Structure 1
Amino acid sequence: MSTMSCSTQSLDSGYEQSPQFRQGKFQNGDDVSAAGLAKLPKIIWRYMFEKSNAAMPEKPIPLVNIDMASLTGKQGQPEIYRLGHSSLLLNFSGNIWLLDPVFSKRASPFSWIGPERFHPLPFELDNLPDIQGVIISHDHYDHLDRETIEAIADRVEHFVTPLGVGKYLQEWGVAQEKIHQLDWWQNIELGALSLTATPAQHFSGRGLTDRDETLWASWVIQSEQHKLFFSGDTGYFDGFKTIGERFGPFDLTIMENGAYDKDWAEVHMTPEQTLQAHLDLRGKALMPVHNGTFDLALHAWYEPLERLAELAQAQWVPLVTPKIGEALPLQELYTTSPWWRATADIQVSAAL
Structure 2
Amino acid sequence: MGIVIGLLLAIVIAAVAIINLPSFGRLPRGERFERIQKSPNYRDGQFRNLEASPMMTGNKSFVGALFEFIFRKTEGLRPESDIPAIHTDLRKLDPSSDLVVWFGHSSYMVQADGRRALIDPVFRNAAPFAFINKPFKGSNIYTPEDMPDIDYLVISHDHWDHLDYRTVTELKNRIGKVICPLGVGEHFERWGFDKTRIVELDWHEDASLEDGFTVHCLPARHFSGRGLKSNQSLWASFLLQTPSRKIYLGGDGGYGEHFARIGRQFPNIDLAVLENGQYNEAWRYIHTLPEQLGQAARDIGARQLMTVHHSKYALAKHPWDEPLKTEATLSADSTLHVLRPQIGEVVIMADNN
Q: TM-score, normalised by structure 2?
A: 0.85
Structure 1 CA distance for aligned equivalents of residues 33 and 175 of structure 2: 21
TM-aligned CA deviation for residue 308 of structure 1:
3.2
Query: Which residue is equivalent to 1:41?
Result: 64
Residue type of the partner of 1:66? T
Match of 2:40 among 19, 22, 25: 19
Give a deviation string over 1:123-148, Cα, whole Å, max 9, x none.
45324222111011001011011111
For residue 168 of structure 1, give the secondary structure of its aligned residue in structure 2. helix
- For the Cα contact (< 8 Å) 1:272–1:311, is it kept in 2? no
Match of 1:69 among 91, 105, 108: 91
TM-aligned CA deviation for residue 93 of structure 1:
5.0
Match of 2:128 among 109, 127, 142: 109
For residue 220 of structure 1, give the secondary structure of its aligned residue in structure 2. strand
TM-aligned CA deviation for residue 12 of structure 1:
4.0
TM-aligned CA deviation for residue 238 of structure 1:
0.6
For residue 303 of structure 2, give the secondary structure of its aligned residue in structure 1. strand
- For the Cα contact (< 8 Å) 2:117–2:154, is it kept in 1? yes
Query: Which residue is equivalent to 1:237?
Result: 256
- For the Cα contact (< 8 Å) 1:288–1:305, is it kept in 2? no
Give a deviation string over 1:4-40, Cα, whole Å, max 9, x none.
xxxxx93444212211011111000124232399423
- For the Cα contact (< 8 Å) 1:219–1:229, is it kept in 2? yes
Structure 2 CA distance for aligned equivalents of residues 53 and 47 of structure 1: 14
2:215 aligned with 1:195? yes
Q: CA RMSD in A?
A: 2.1
Within 5 Å, which residues of 2 pair with 1:152-301?
152-191=171-210, 192-208=212-228, 210-301=229-320
Within 5 Å, which residues of 2 pair with 1:88-167?
88-104=108-124, 106-167=125-186
- For the Cα contact (< 8 Å) 1:115–1:296, is it kept in 2? no
Query: Which residue is equivalent to 2:81?
Result: 59
For residue 339 of structure 2, give the secondary structure of its aligned residue in structure 1. coil
- For the Cα contact (< 8 Å) 1:68–1:123, is it kept in 2? no
For residue 283 of structure 1, give the secondary structure of its aligned residue in structure 2. coil
Structure 2: any 5+ residue segments left out of the alignment? 1-29
Q: TM-score, normalised by structure 1?
A: 0.85
Stretch deviating more after TM superposition (115-124 or 228-237): 115-124
- For the Cα contact (< 8 Å) 1:67–1:123, is it kept in 2? no
Match of 2:99 among 73, 79, 87: 79
Give a deviation string over 1:83-116, Cα, whole Å, max 9, x none.
1111011123543210011111x31111233343
Structure 2 CA distance for aligned equivalents of residues 264 and 146 of structure 1: 26
For residue 213 of structure 1, give the secondary structure of its aligned residue in structure 2. coil
Within 5 Å, which residues of 2 pair with 1:304-319?
304-314=323-333, 316-319=335-338
- For the Cα contact (< 8 Å) 1:118–1:294, is it kept in 2? no
Structure 1 CA distance for aligned equivalents of residues 279 and 245 of structure 2: 30
Structure 1 CA distance for aligned equivalents of residues 115 and 315 of structure 2: 32
Structure 2 CA distance for aligned equivalents of residues 137 and 272 of structure 1: 23
Query: Which residue is equivalent to 2:6?
Result: none
After superposition, the Cα gap between the structure-2 partners of 1:75 and 1:66, relative to the gap in structure 1 and judged at 3 Å, is same
TM-aligned CA deviation for residue 193 of structure 1:
2.3
Structure 1: any 5+ residue segments left out of the alignment? 1-8, 334-352
For residue 217 of structure 2, give the secondary structure of its aligned residue in structure 1. strand
Percent identity reads 33
After superposition, the Cα gap between the structure-2 partners of 1:112 and 1:122, relative to the gap in structure 1 and judged at 3 Å, is closer
For residue 304 of structure 2, give the secondary structure of its aligned residue in structure 1. strand
Structure 2 CA distance for aligned equivalents of residues 312 and 120 of structure 1: 23
TM-aligned CA deviation for residue 315 of structure 1:
6.5
- For the Cα contact (< 8 Å) 1:218–1:232, is it kept in 2? yes
